[in-house]
Amino acid sequence: MVTMEKIVSLCKRRGFIAPSSEIYGGFESCYDYGFLGALLKNNIKQNWWKTMTQYRDDIVGVDASILMSPKVWQASGHLTAGFADPLVECINCHKRFRKDHLKDKDRCPDCGHEPLGKERKFNLMMKTFIGPVEDEAAVTYLRGETCQGIYMNYQFMRDAMRMKVPFGIAQIGKAFRNEITPRYFIFKTREFEQMEMQYFVEPDEKEKKKLFDYWKKERMKWYLGLGVKKENLRFREHQKDELAHYAKKAVDIEYKFPWGWDEIEGIHDRGDWDLSNHSKHSGQDLSYFDEQTKNKFIPHIIETSAGADRAVLTFLVEAYDEVKGGRTETTESKKESEVVLRLNKELAPIKVTILPLVKNKKDLVKKAKEVYGLLKFHWMCQYDEVGSIGRRYRRGDEIAVPFVITIDFDSLKNDDVTVRDRDTMKQERIKIKELVDYLREKLGE
């Protein structure tokens, strides 16, 4: 069974993710992505970006500044109680907790003292200062959600890209929240990455065309299409009392993590909250004029908001497979269990490993390096000559490499190689000159 301990250990051991500032003992639930983690996350983001912008003609993308005028956050409601968590501090041990997460609302879960202190609202925005003087006039905030950067570019993109309602703007970027209770590895952190899309619609058309339901389905399809099993995903609609301050309606996509069902993405009907408030506070008219119907209105927004780090964790947990007793072809000891990361091929950080059968035969090494040199301009590849073939296969399986190519003595005579498939472990003999086309087809390109 997959546990968080196994995921965290694999991530550290194989260079996916490690605690930030580790030589200083780590720092406040912050994490760094190593090479394989960065490749995986980039593949996820690239797939999302293509799905949202390249494969459609009604959505464009932006890359807005993280730092914005503090007026943005006043207008959006993030500086008031709306974007705050209920915090209680134990009057005995002074530990702090989120009130809504406590089982026993009056007793400290740490030292058992009763009663706890009074509840107060704790704002999640991260404050910083612009310029050399750290006074109130210099205060601004690291963005708490990326979509505010999209609203700042709504008029710019609508006009410059000649977008007609309904249209969307997508963005991927970092967001920051001073979470009281970061937890579960990269699931809930204070610095994280979002993949958000804001769809601007005419209010009646939103209802008539059931656009909220449309986006719910589209987003569910994305996770399913990348290999997450249906039984591990579900929708959960927010009750009225848990709706965020901007939302008229919200449905989460939840994944069945080792600790239980939890949110990976939110689909929100934000109504006219954002553009109305930004119109009011900025004095700019952000309404839309429909040339055909002569109708002037403030567009409503349907938002799809996914966490890139939560997507990384979802795909890792989903892909993790442990084969007890080993996979017959490669195992040296029957007692061992082998880890296979069955990531969707498009998400796999490294697509091909190239191995010479043995490393002390010059001709084999030379040929293997030639093949590596040929393939690395097409895909992220790695060359590996250390250890037995079985061990090298297993190293590839553990980091989800879909194809392993072996150069053996026949390769020298016939100019061909064996290609081993990660999932089926089947091996095929392929001519070197046909390798690129063969892999292209196998990788679904």
Under the rule (CB under 6 A), what is the footprint of ligand GAP? 145, 147, 177, 179, 188-189, 192, 194, 196, 263-266, 303, 305-307, 309-310
Which single residue brings its beta carbon nearest to ligand GAP? 307
Q: Which is nearer to ligand GAP, 163 or 186 (CB)?
A: 186
Q: In 28-164, which ranges are continuous DSSP H helix?
A: 35-49, 70-76, 147-152, 154-160
Residue 107 structure tokens: 């007793």
Residue 368: CB minimum distance to ligand GAP, A: 41
Q: Which is nearer to ligand GAP, 145 or 338 (CB)?
A: 145
State how beta strands 288-290 and 260-271 pair. Answer: unpaired
- What's the CA gap between 119 and 99, in Å, rounded? 7
- What's the CA gap between 57 and 26, in Å, rounded? 44
Q: Which is nearer to ligand GAP, 82 or 325 (CB)?
A: 82
Please check whether residue 186 is in contact with residue 153, taking contact to mean a CB–CB distance below 8 angstroms: no
Task: Tell me if residue 349 falls in helix, strand or coil.
Answer: coil
H or E segment at 297?
strand 295-297
Please check whether residue 193 is in contact with residue 308, taking contact to mean a CB–CB distance below 8 angstroms: yes
- What's the CA gap between 147 and 149, in Å, rounded? 5
- What's the CA gap between 427 and 405, in Å, rounded? 9
Q: Which is nearer to ligand GAP, 62 or 264 (CB)?
A: 264
Q: Which is nearer to ligand GAP, 128 or 427 (CB)?
A: 128
Enumerate residues 6+ apart whose C-beta is below 8 A from 275: 151, 154, 200, 286, 287, 298, 299, 301
Residue 147: CB minimum distance to ligand GAP, A: 4
Residue 91: CB minimum distance to ligand GAP, A: 28
Residue 264 structure tokens: 């990976």
Residue 146: CB minimum distance to ligand GAP, A: 7
Q: Which is nearer to ligand GAP, 244 or 358 (CB)?
A: 244
Q: Which is nearer to ligand GAP, 191 or 384 (CB)?
A: 191
- What's the CA gap between 98 and 85, in Å, rounded? 7
Residue 49: CB minimum distance to ligand GAP, A: 16
* Cβ neighbours around 55 below 10 Å, total: 9
Residue 384: CB minimum distance to ligand GAP, A: 34
Residue 83: CB minimum distance to ligand GAP, A: 9
